[in-house]
C-alpha cells in the first residue's frame, strides 16, 4: 500500500505553536520589518519544530507589506479623535495591533486634500489595509475603497451600499430597546433627536424608534435632526421644546447629543426624569456622570474597534470573513 502524502503544516499551526497571531507569524516567515526579536525567534522555532514550508505565491505577496494600516474617518474636524466614541474605537484597534507589529495611522479624509492623501497612500502601497468609519451618503471614500488594491473594512454600515467586509452594532435593535423602555415607564409623547441621516447609524436608530412607537400605537412625529455632537443635541432639544412643549420622553441617538439635551431641559425648568424621561445611545463614560446619570443603550465600542482590526487582519491573510453585527443592551440609570 502506497504511503499517503504527508499533510502540509498550516500557518495557523505555526502561529499557535509560537504563541503569536497569524499575521505576526506571516510577517516573520516573509522577513517583513517591524517584528520584535522575541516573536521572530518564537516563530522561527515553531517553523523548525513543525517543518513548515511557506507557499511561494503567498510569500511573494507578503514581502510587499508596508507594515501599517489606516483608520480613516470621514471628517474634517481634528477634534473627532477626542470624541469619547472614536477614542474607544482606537483603543480597541490598538489592542489587537499590539500583537502584530503593525503601525496604526489615523487620517481625516473628507476634504479633497484628505482624499488625495489617502488615495496616494493606497496607490503607493504605504499601507497594508484600511478601516473606514463615518461614511456619509455618496461618500467618495467608499468609491476610493472600492478601487483600492488593499483590504478594506468598514466600521458601521454605509447608507447606499453593503460593503463586503464590515463590523457594526445593532443600532436598530438598540433604538427599539430605548424607545420601548420609555413606553414602559409610562411616556406617551415621545420625541427623538436623530443623528446624521446620511450615516447608517443615524438612519438605523431612527427606524428603531419609529418601529417601537408603531407597535405601541403612539405618534412618531416628534422629530428633530442633528449630527451626533453635543452642540447638535442642544439645538435639536430647543427645537423640540418649541414645537412640542408637551413631550414627556426623548430618545437621543447618541450620549453626546443627550448631554446637550439634558442641559436644555434643565435650563427650561423640566426635571429629568419626573417631567421628561431621557435615553441616549453608546454608553460613553460621561453618561455615568451626568446629573442625573443617563439611561442609555450600550454598544461594545472597544469591541467594535477590536473586531474591525481582527477582520482586517483576516482579510490581509487571505480569509473571507462575513459581516459582523455586535449586540446592544439597555443600561438603566436615573434619567428614566
pLDDT tens digits, residue range 42-60? 999 998 898 887 765 455 4
CATH number at residue 150: 3.40.50.2300
One DSSP character per residue, 153-178 reads EEES--SS---SSEEEE-HHHHHHHH
The reply to whether 102 falls in a domain is yes
What does the pLDDT look like over 88-144, one tens digit per residue?
999 999 999 988 878 899 887 666 677 777 777 777 777 888 999 877 666 677 777
- The confidence score (pLDDT) of residue 4 equals 46
138 in the same domain as 34? no
156 in the same domain as 260? no
The reply to whether 322 falls in a domain is yes
292 in the same domain as 175? yes
Distances (CA, A) of 262 to 225, 249, 254, 269: 16, 12, 12, 11
* Nearest of 138, 201, 206 to residue 178 by alpha carbon: 206
Q: Which of 62, 83, 98 is the last residue of a domain?
A: 62
* Nearest of 199, 168, 181, 148 to residue 297 by alpha carbon: 181
320 in the same domain as 237? no
82 in the same domain as 53? no
The cell for 141 is 471614500
The reply to whether 190 falls in a domain is yes
Percent of the residues in the chain that have a pLDDT greater than 90, as a whole number: 55
The reply to whether 3 falls in a domain is no
Torsion of CA 271, 275, 281, 286, to 10 degrees: 10
183 in the same domain as 239? yes
The reply to whether 332 falls in a domain is no
Tell me which residues of the chain have a pLDDT lower than 50: 1-5, 57, 60-61, 63
Distance in angstroms (rounded) separating the CA atoms of residues 306 and 246: 43
Strands (E), 57-205: 68-73, 103-108, 129-133, 152-155, 166-169, 190-194
CATH number at residue 52: 1.10.260.40
- The confidence score (pLDDT) of residue 214 equals 98
34 in the same domain as 144? no
106 in the same domain as 122? yes
Q: Which domain holds residue 50?
A: 11-62
196 in the same domain as 81? no
158 in the same domain as 147? yes
Q: Which of 62, 86, 103 is the last residue of a domain?
A: 62
289 in the same domain as 179? yes
- The confidence score (pLDDT) of residue 35 equals 65
What residues pair up with 191 in beta bridges, in sequence order? 250
* Nearest of 201, 156, 167 to residue 325 by alpha carbon: 167
DSSP single-letter state for residue 321: P
Other C-beta atoms lying within 10 Å of the C-beta of residue 19:
14
The reply to whether 310 falls in a domain is yes
Domain count, the chain: 3
Asked if residues 194 and 233 have their Cβ atoms less than 8 Å apart, the reply is: no
- The confidence score (pLDDT) of residue 317 equals 82
The reply to whether 133 falls in a domain is yes
The reply to whether 78 falls in a domain is yes
Distance in angstroms (rounded) separating the CA atoms of residues 300 and 169: 8
112 in the same domain as 178? no
Amino acid at each position: 500500500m502506497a504511503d499517503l502524502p504527508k499533510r502540509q503544516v498550516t500557518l495557523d499551526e505555526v502561529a499557535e505553536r509560537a504563541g503569536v497571531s497569524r499575521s505576526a507569524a506571516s510577517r516573520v516567515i516573509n522577513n517583513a520589518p517591524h517584528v520584535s526579536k522575541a516573536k521572530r525567534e518564537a516563530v522561527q522555532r515553531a517553523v523548525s519544530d513543525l517543518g513548515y514550508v511557506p507557499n511561494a505565491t503567498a510569500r511573494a505577496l507578503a514581502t510587499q507589506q508596508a507594515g501599517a494600516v489606516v483608520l480613516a474617518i470621514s471628517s474634517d474636524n481634528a477634534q473627532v479623535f477626542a470624541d469619547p466614541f472614536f477614542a474607544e474605537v482606537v483603543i480597541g484597534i490598538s489592542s489587537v495591533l499590539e500583537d502584530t507589529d503593525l503601525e496604526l495611522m489615523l487620517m481625516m479624509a473628507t476634504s479633497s486634500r484628505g482624499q488625495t492623501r489617502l488615495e496616494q497612500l493606497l496607490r503607493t502601497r504605504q499601507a497594508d489595509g484600511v478601516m473606514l468609519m463615518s461614511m456619509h451618503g455618496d461618500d467618495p471614500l467608499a468609491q476610493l475603497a472600492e478601487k483600492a488594491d488593499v483590504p478594506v473594512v468598514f466600521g458601521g454600515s454605509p447608507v447606499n451600499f453593503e460593503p463586503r467586509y464590515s463590523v457594526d452594532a445593532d443600532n436598530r435593535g438598540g433604538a427599539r430597546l430605548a424607545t420601548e423602555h420609555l413606553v414602559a415607564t409610562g411616556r406617551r409623547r415621545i420625541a427623538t433627536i436623530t443623528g446624521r441621516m446620511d450615516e447608517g447609524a443615524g438612519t438605523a436608530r431612527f427606524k428603531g424608534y419609529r418601529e417601537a412607537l408603531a407597535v405601541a400605537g403612539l405618534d412618531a412625529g416628534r422629530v428633530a435632526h442633528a449630527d451626533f455632537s453635543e452642540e447638535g443635541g442642544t439645538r435639536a432639544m430647543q427645537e423640540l421644546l418649541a414645537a412640542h412643549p408637551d413631550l414627556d420622553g426623548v430618545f437621543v441617538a447618541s450620549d453626546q447629543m443627550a448631554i446637550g439635551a439634558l442641559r436644555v431641559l434643565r435650563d427650561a425648568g423640566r426635571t429629568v426624569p419626573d417631567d421628561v424621561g431621557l435615553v441616549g445611545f453608546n454608553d460613553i463614560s460621561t453618561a455615568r456622570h451626568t446629573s442625573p446619570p443617563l439611561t442609555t443603550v450600550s454598544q461594545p465600542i472597544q469591541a467594535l474597534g477590536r473586531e474591525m482590526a481582527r477582520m482586517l487582519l483576516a482579510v490581509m491573510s487571505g480569509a473571507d470573513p462575513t459581516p459582523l453585527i455586535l449586540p446592544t443592551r439597555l443600561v438603566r440609570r436615573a434619567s428614566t
